[in-house]
Chains A and B, each alone.
Chain A
Amino acid sequence: MSSEHRNPPAAHRLRPSAVIMVAVGGAVGALAHYGISEWFPPTEPGFPWAPFWINVSGCALIGVLLVLIDEVCARPHSLWRPALATGVLGGYTTFSAYSVETVQLLRGGHIVLGVGYAIATVTTALAALYLAELLTRRITTGRIERQR
C-alpha cells in the first residue's frame, strides 16, 4: 500500500501536475504499444502474441516499479507514480484490446484459441507481476532494511 493511500486528505486532491504527467506518460506508453503492434502484425487466426507480451511485460515492469517507489526509495518524487505507473505502463498495457481480441477469436469459431488467450494472458500477467515483485524485493533487500 502506497503512502498516498495511508494519508488520504492531502494526497487526494487531484493535482494538475500529476494529471499532466499521466497524459504525457500515457501518450508515451500508447506509442510504445502501437510501435510494437505495428512491428508484429497479427497473424490471423492465431494467438495474439504481440498483445500478450505487451500486457505481460507491462505487468512485470509495474511490479518492479512499484516496489522501487513504495518500498525501496526513501523519498520517491510524488510524480513518479502518476507519470510512470499510471501514465506510461497504463498507456502501454491495455484491457480493451485484450477483451476485443478474445471476443473476435470466439466469434470466428476459434473457441480453444480464444479461451486459451484469455486465460493465458491473465495468469501469465499476474504471475509475471508477482515474480517481478519478489525478485525486486530480494535484489533490493539490503536497501529496504537499511531504510527501516
Chain B
Amino acid sequence: MTAALVALGACIGAPLRYTLDHVVHTRLRSRFPWAILVVNVIGSLILGSLVAAAESLSEGAAALLGAGLCGGLTTYSTFAHQTIRLAEQGHRGLAVLNIAGNVLGGLGAAALGYWASLTLWG
C-alpha cells in the first residue's frame, strides 16, 4: 500500500518537473537550468515541512507527498547532468552557480520549511 502511494506521488511529481522544465526552457531560453533549480528548492521546502510535521501525518500521506511527490518532483541526476554540461561547454561560472544555487537553495528551503512547519503545527 505504501509503495503504491509512493508510485502515485511520483506519477504527479515527475510530470510536473518535466512540464515546468519545458515551459521555462521555451519561454526563458536561458542557458542556466532555472526549472530544475526551482523544483529542487520547492521540493526541499515541502519535504522539510512534511518531515517536521511527521507526527501529525499518517504513513500513507507521508509516502504519497514525501517519497512520492517530492521524490518525483526533485532530481539529483538532471541537476548533475546540467552542471557537467555547463562546464563542458565552457560555462564554468554558471556550473558553479548551479551547484551553489541547488545545494544552498535546497538546504535553506528545507530548513525554512522545517522551521515554518514546527512554528505552525508544533
User: Which residues of chain B are within 8 angstroms of A29 by Cβ–Cβ distance?
Assistant: 10, 14, 72
> Dominant SS at the B interface?
helix
Interface size on A, residues (CB 8 A): 57
Q: Which of B44-102 contact A (CB under 8 A)?
A: 44, 46-48, 51, 63, 67-68, 70-81, 83-85, 89, 99, 102
Nearest Cβ on chain A to B71's Cβ, whole angstroms: 5
Residue of B nearest to A125 (CB): B80
A-B contact pairs, 16 of them (CB 8 A): A5-B25, A12-B22, A27-B10, A27-B72, A29-B14, A30-B67, A58-B77, A59-B76, A63-B81, A86-B14, A87-B18, A96-B110, A99-B40, A99-B47, A99-B48, A122-B99
User: Which residues of chain B are within 8 angstroms of A50 by Cβ–Cβ distance?
Assistant: none
Q: Is the CB of B40 within 8 A of A95?
A: yes
Contact A104 to B76, CB < 8 A, known contacts A96-B46, A126-B84: no
Q: Is the CB of B11 within 8 A of A99?
A: no
Complexed CA–CA distance, A29 and B75 (Å): 11
> Dominant SS at the A interface?
helix
User: Which residues of chain A are within 8 angstroms of B26 by Cβ–Cβ distance?
Assistant: 8, 12
Q: Is the CB of A94 within 8 A of B71?
A: yes
Q: Is the CB of A93 within 8 A of B18?
A: no
A48 at interface, CB cutoff 8 A: no
Q: Is the CB of B51 within 8 A of A19?
A: no
Q: Is the CB of B22 within 8 A of A62?
A: no
Q: Is the CB of B47 within 8 A of A96?
A: yes
Contact A96 to B74, CB < 8 A, known contacts A1-B89, A19-B19, A82-B18: yes
Q: Is the CB of B80 within 8 A of A22?
A: no
Interface size on B, residues (CB 8 A): 56
Residue of B nearest to A12 (CB): B26
Nearest Cβ on chain B to A126's Cβ, whole angstroms: 5
Q: Is the CB of B106 within 8 A of A95?
A: yes
> A residues touching B (Cβ–Cβ < 8 Å)?
1, 5, 8, 12, 14, 18-20, 22-31, 33-35, 37, 55, 58-59, 61-63, 66, 82, 85-87, 89-100, 102-104, 107, 118, 121-122, 125-126, 129-130, 133
Q: Is the CB of A18 within 8 A of B18?
A: yes
